[in-house]
Amino acid sequence: MHCELILGGARSGKSRHAETLAAASGLAVTVIATATAGDAEMAARIRRHQADRPAGWRTVEAPLALAAALRAEAAADRCVVVDCLTLWLANLLAGAEKLPEPAEADQLPLFRREREALLAVLGSLPGRILLVANEVGLGLVPETPLGRLFRDEAGRLNQAVAAICPRVTFVAAGLPLVLKGS
């Protein structure tokens, strides 16, 4: 199993880097997409991502049950691209704004269950797994409690996934910088 976390900011080239690695792998490629089209702008973004992918690549939608999708799709002869962990996290945190202050993500049973399932399965998957995520901790401190909760949980998730993956790459301005691994 080869698992890689690919981090970067918005429009950094992280998805393109993952797609380049997937294409170069010589394996059949499945993209696990976590985005949901909640509005017209997001629907257009999803269509752009789909149009950029080679026609032979398979796409599986998994806005919540990511660990189950990975178990179903990972295979020794396949490269799986998860795009992206950050949108998946946002989906899991839906409803957090209704939590009493100070809100903790562990108060959301779906979040807790799915995060634990992902971290438990990552080290045991066959094939090549490329996980795309946003690095959100380099900017301003969010103004709202929900924004701070999201930022904190994204950072914790990235750290936990990075600890499992033998390779971690940061992409800025389309340029990959290997942080861990060779």
The annotation status of 34 as a binding-site residue, yes or no, is yes
The annotation status of 9 as a binding-site residue, yes or no, is yes
Q: Which residue has the higher pLDDT, 145 or 168?
A: 168
Type and span of the H or E element at 66: helix 66-73
What 54-57 contacts at long range (C-beta under 8 Å, 24+ apart), as own/partner pairs, is: 54/23, 54/29, 56/28, 56/29, 57/22, 57/29, 57/30, 57/31
Asked if 49 is an active-site residue, the reply is yes
86: tokens are: 């950050």
In one-letter notation, the amino acid at residue 73 is E
Which listed residue (2, 16, 49, 113) is catalytic? 49
For the chain, the farthest-separated pair of C-alpha atoms sits apart, in whole angstroms, at: 49
Mean model confidence pLDDT for the chain: 93
The annotation status of 152 as a binding-site residue, yes or no, is no
Rounded distance between C-alpha atoms, residue 2 and residue 130, angstroms: 8
pLDDT at 1: 60
pLDDT at 66: 98
pLDDT at 45: 84
pLDDT at 127: 97
Domains for the chain: give ranges and CATH numbers: 2-180 (3.40.50.300)
Rounded distance between C-alpha atoms, residue 91 and residue 22, angstroms: 25
pLDDT at 99: 78
Look at residue 152 and tell me whether its pLDDT is greater than 90. yes
Look at residue 163 and tell me whether its pLDDT is greater than 70. yes
CA atoms within a 13 Å half-sphere pointing along the CA-CB vector of 11: 2
Helix (H, G, I), strand (E, B) or coil at 89: helix
Q: In what order do the strands lie in the sheet with 78-83?
A: 58-61, 28-33, 78-83, 128-134, 2-8, 167-172, 175-180
Q: How many other CB atoms are found less than 10 A from the CB of residue 179?
A: 12
Residue-wise pLDDT tens digits, 22-67: 999 999 999 999 988 888 988 888 888 888 889 899 999 999 999 9
pLDDT > 70 fraction of the chain, expressed in percent and rounded: 99
The annotation status of 10 as a binding-site residue, yes or no, is yes
Residue-wise pLDDT tens digits, 111-143: 999 999 999 999 999 999 999 999 998 888 899
